[in-house]
Structure 1
Amino acid sequence: MPNSVGVVIVAAGRGTRMGTAESKQYLLLQGKPIIVHTLEVFQRHPLISEIVLVTGEEDVERCQEWIITYKLGKVAAVVAGGSERQHSVYRGLGNLGTTWVMVHDGVRPFVQEKEITACYERAREIGASVLAVPVKDTIKQVNTEGKVLSTPDRRSLWAIQTPQTFRLSELLNAYKEAERDGFLGTDDSSLAERSGIPVAVVEGSYGNIKITTPEDLDFAEFTQRNRGEVQT
């Protein structure tokens, strides 16, 4: 299908900021692993035909069990990630057969259906898109000694979120170029930009948080309760 859309959901990290023995993506939110909440958003979305979940090698089996338990039929593969996020995404891309691909953080369970749709539509218009929000705080550029160098105009600054959307073939080429040159980017769009792919920003919501700290988890519990989406 010429406009088929797949998703690579990245959940291979083992962040330490949460302060728990369990990886953040597998902590329970309203009785269900965070990663399952995230997968369900894309499972429900009518645009999405295929999902690839990238996780730690030691977590593949339990994730496969959750796919069955929670009836996540769009998940085509659960694959083990690499040492860096970029390597993990690259492995995920190789397991997709769609024309378009979205790359999404496994610990962003509150992305909305309309945001996913908007990202896809903007990518079709421009070439690629990233979900983002305007920066609310004043930002200072500081040197290694802690001295302020400049104060950028925050009207030009956006905090980048996910999903990020690309033509699969173009993103794969960008990844191949990065691997060839030994380039490690901060996100997928940085590889696309480097490869000459035009990338547009789609305004998202401040509620599309990345759950990385205990405070984030508290906020996520509050958000989930207020949404009235508790599922058992």
Structure 2
Amino acid sequence: MGKRSKRKGILVSFPAHGVIVTAAGSSSRFNSSNNPAKKKKEFMPLDDRSVLYHAAAPFFSLPGLQIVIVTYSEGYRDEAEVALDNLLFASPVPVLLVQGGETRQQSVLLGLEALASHAPEIQFALIHDGARPWITEQTIISTLAIATVFGGAAPVLPIHDSVKMIDREGKIVSHVDRTGMATVQTPQIFRFPEILEAHRRAATNGKAYLDDTEIFMDFGGFVGTSEGDLLNRKITVAQDIPESEEPS
């Protein structure tokens, strides 16, 4: 099994790469919160654009980008096109919308297969949550630099709060040592042939995976870490979007 390592990386040149932005989730937690519009979180307005637009836009400015894949839920293609706005035609980089699967893992594999069909020559795949609209070029570049060293990389943040194990009744049952623990963000970046093969194998072994780093490591890959960004948070409930951006 692979290991998670941390090391400084220097990106001398940008390798050919493709991006997958995932927007095929159900938004069940988002729509169970204070969201009267019952709209998918990726399509919610944010700073005169959409959440999805902001999640995807920073990737377009990086050298070496060959293609962007955006996954969407069945029946939401039109909404995805509207949310992406001029990203669909203002860049010379092709943008391909791919209908996702029933799970995030299935959707990512479909995105990877689309990369294999349309840009098989790429060296790296960058996989980003469409519900993380505050991603920066700096985080993308630093994570890509680490991935060129180890083959895989993800931005992480150390855990500063105390961590407890809770039972079904809500009682604390144990106290977890947080030393060495971290929360992981996206983009998660991998050598393309290896992550494609890992996802293909993971699709047939019946195991439920937490994220793409686990899949990559389960089939022998190594994952380094870059410094995460507190602002690069994931929108989970309606309250995560600034009040000024919520629909009236």
Question: Shorter-normalised TM-score: what interval?
Answer: 0.7 to 0.9
Q: Comparing 88-97 with 38-47, which one deviates more in the overlay?
A: 38-47
Q: What residue in structure 1 maps to residue 103 of structure 2? A: 84
TM-superposed deviation, 1:152: 2.6
Counterpart among 56, 69, 74 of residue 52 in structure 1: 69
Q: Comparing 178-187 with 68-77, which one deviates more in the overlay?
A: 68-77
2:173 is the alignment partner of 1:156:
no
Q: Structure 2: how far apart are the matches of 1:114 and 1:214?
A: 27
Counterpart among 57, 68, 80 of residue 40 in structure 1: 57
TM-superposed deviation, 1:149: 4.3
User: Where in structure 2 are the equivalents of 1:1-232 lying within 5 Å?
Assistant: 3-18=15-30, 19=35, 20-64=37-81, 67=84, 69-70=86-87, 71-96=90-115, 97=119, 98-218=122-242
User: What's the secondary structure of 1:79's corresponding residue?
Assistant: strand
Q: Comparing 36-45 with 159-168, which one deviates more in the overlay?
A: 36-45
Structure (1/2) with the larger helix percentage: 1
The one-letter code matched in structure 1 to 2:70 is L
TM-superposed deviation, 1:38: 1.4
Q: 2:154·2:189 contact (CA, 8 Å) conserved in 1? A: yes
User: What's the secondary structure of 2:21's corresponding residue?
Assistant: strand
TM-superposed deviation, 1:46: 2.7
In structure 1, the gaps of 5 or more residues are 222-232
Q: Structure 1: how far apart are the matches of 2:207 and 2:187?
A: 22
Change in Cα spacing, 1:39 to 1:72, as seen in structure 2 (3 Å) is: farther
User: What's the secondary structure of 2:225's corresponding residue?
Assistant: strand
Q: 2:156·2:227 contact (CA, 8 Å) conserved in 1? A: yes
Q: Structure 1: how far apart are the matches of 2:98 and 2:200?
A: 19
Q: Structure 2: how far apart are the matches of 1:36 and 1:67?
A: 5
TM-superposed deviation, 1:136: 2.1
Percent identical: 29
TM-superposed deviation, 1:65: 5.1
RMSD across aligned positions (CA):
2.1
Change in Cα spacing, 1:67 to 1:206, as seen in structure 2 (3 Å) is: closer
Change in Cα spacing, 1:48 to 1:181, as seen in structure 2 (3 Å) is: same
The one-letter code matched in structure 2 to 1:64 is E
Q: Structure 2: how far apart are the matches of 1:202 and 1:49?
A: 23
How many residues matched?
A: 220
Q: 1:43·1:73 contact (CA, 8 Å) conserved in 2? A: no
Deviations 1:97-123 (A, max 9, x none): 221001100011111111101111101
Q: Structure 1: how far apart are the matches of 2:148 and 2:202?
A: 23
Change in Cα spacing, 1:60 to 1:194, as seen in structure 2 (3 Å) is: same
